[in-house]
Chain A
Amino acid sequence: MSKTAIISAKDVDVFYGEKQALNKINLDIPENKVTSLIGPSGCGKSTFLRSINRMNDLVDICRVEGSITIKGQDIYAPEVDVVALRAKVGMVFQKPNPFPKSIYENVAYGPKIHGLAKSKTDMDEIVEWSLIKAGLWKEVKDRLDQPGTGLSGGQQQRLCIARTIAVKPQVVLMDEPCSALDPIATAIIEELIDELRNNFTIVIVTHSMQQAARVSQRTAFFHLGELVESGATKSIFTSPEDERTQNYIMGRIG
């Protein structure tokens, strides 16, 4: 385990019923960096991402073995509370999924349920801070009471990011956050991710290698449920050790 690793996975196996989706994954994820998980569809990268905040618990037949620790605490230990865990490890999903409420309510939802704001002023500050961090404040500050579903796709996704960071998590997981967006919105979000890493550790699943190269410092390549190789993004893209990684980067597996 490296000194700066915040998340550390050891021999992680994930099963869906009889089917094994992940096989002996060992990966350290460093603090305040962006780590991207890449690989062809169905390789298990999203499964791994979802096991970091135990969203897989929602799938009845899903079973996780091995250990994942965050700052040394095993998140699959029986005494761990998923609700508390997810407050520390937030998630942004593939398709923007704002609640059908006002923009303000969307961002305030998390702080409200976790009791983070003591007063209305507190809450206003949190909402403003989150929207500023998510680069959305200027665009929406005059219409906070309008429904979040009325925003454009890219704005909706930034709203979802604002909503996630409003609870001040330590880790933000992003599951292909730009796959439903156009190139301009994607560029804005990528810029945002780069800024966010000062405050949060970010793990991002992406389908686009260019995106991985642009936003991340570390990259892990998954293939058929296995972690093939991981390391500094630059070295993975310029001098991959494994042939499979090379094939993928060259566009031969897809």
Chain B
Amino acid sequence: MANSDSATIDLVHSQRKKGFELFVMGVLILCSLVAVAVTVGIVLSLLFEAFRFFERIPLTDFLFGTQWSPQTALRADQVAAEGAFGAVPLITGTLLISFIAMCVATPLGLLSAIYLSEYASKRSRNLIKPALEILAGIPTVVYGFFAALTVAPLLRAGGESVGLNVSSESALAAGLVMGIMIIPLISSLSDDVINAVPQAMRDASLGMGATHSETIRKVVLPSAIPGIAGSLLLAASRAIGETMIVVMAAGLAANLTANPLEAVTTITAQIVALLTGDQEFDSAKTLSAFALGLVLFVTTLVLNVVALRIVRKYQEQYD
């Protein structure tokens, strides 16, 4: 440090202090790299294990096969000991349940968002918005429990009374409940998007004598479409990746069907089924879970990237 009796002022930091700051900076950078490391870790471990799977089962069999029965062999020399690993029924099952969920969540979420941003008074908005967000805060295992033990039996009984045969683990029960779960995702994102539509648009339409709902349907919503599409994509990605509801309510029967009253299974439900309990780690059965995980990761990643890009572009448009 500078001498007290020195006439000059020391403008140079001590080396020790500088070293410490460099060290702190290094720690900071390291911490922010953790997020990147996690992504890299996910990609590497999924790719590595999936690669080992595809060494045993050809990729085309996996992607285009319509038969899913990942039996482990009873004896090592058994014929077709590896079972069948056609992912098509899982993919269609996932899509069917997500489609049902979106059919529930899109109208409910969108109409709620429109009402909250365009009609509701400030007070009721402040009450209803957090109440809707509770739906997003409830753990998915609770939804799964409710779907499996309340909604599914109700649907079954309801179906019976009109002469329909509803499976006790129907795609409908899982999809309905999942739809409710993603309502707040759609409503809060769409709410932001609708609020971002400039007031001048509304003024122009109202000033010509359009009613409020005409203004919303013909001016506000068309301008907000890209943002709303982004929010729907995010919700769809959430539905595809949702696990507990389908594990508990949709079951494990790999049916290739479009009938919502039948039981189907999903990618996530199969991953759980394949990996819970003790297993040898080298069997095709266990490794197939990572191949499914890779499909899931890539699908949701693509949806998210596209959705985030759309939303960001939309926000820039009105900045």
Contact = CB atoms under 8 A, between A and B. Distances in A.
A contacts B directly in the complex (CB < 8 Å)? yes
Interface stretch (A107-115, A197-205, A215-223, A243-251): A107-115
A58 B201 contact: no
A11 B223 CA distance: 40
B204 A99 contact: yes
A55 interface: yes
B208 interface: yes
B200 interface: yes
| Interface hub of A90, A98, A100 (most chain B Cβ within 10 A) | A100
Interface string B214-232: 1000110011000000000
Query: DSSP majority for the B interface?
Result: helix
A91 B218 contact: no
Interface residues of A, number: 27
Given A86-B207, A86-B209, A113-B209, A101 B200 contact: no
A100 B200 contact: no
Interface size range on B against A:
10 to 19
Contacts of A38: none
B49 to A, nearest CB: 48
Contacts of A167: 208-209
Contacts of B206: 55, 58, 86
Contact of B204 (A53, A87, A160): A160
Nearest to A90: B208
B65 interface: no
Given A95-B200, A97-B198, A99-B219, A55 B209 contact: no
A164 interface: yes
Given A99-B204, A113-B218, A83 B209 contact: yes
Interface of B: 198, 200-211, 214, 218-219, 222-223
Given A83-B211, A99-B219, 8 more contacts: A55-B203, A55-B206, A58-B206, A85-B209, A86-B208, A90-B209, A109-B208, A114-B209
16 contacts: A55-B203, A55-B206, A86-B209, A87-B208, A90-B208, A91-B203, A97-B198, A99-B223, A100-B222, A101-B222, A109-B210, A110-B208, A110-B210, A113-B210, A163-B204, A167-B208
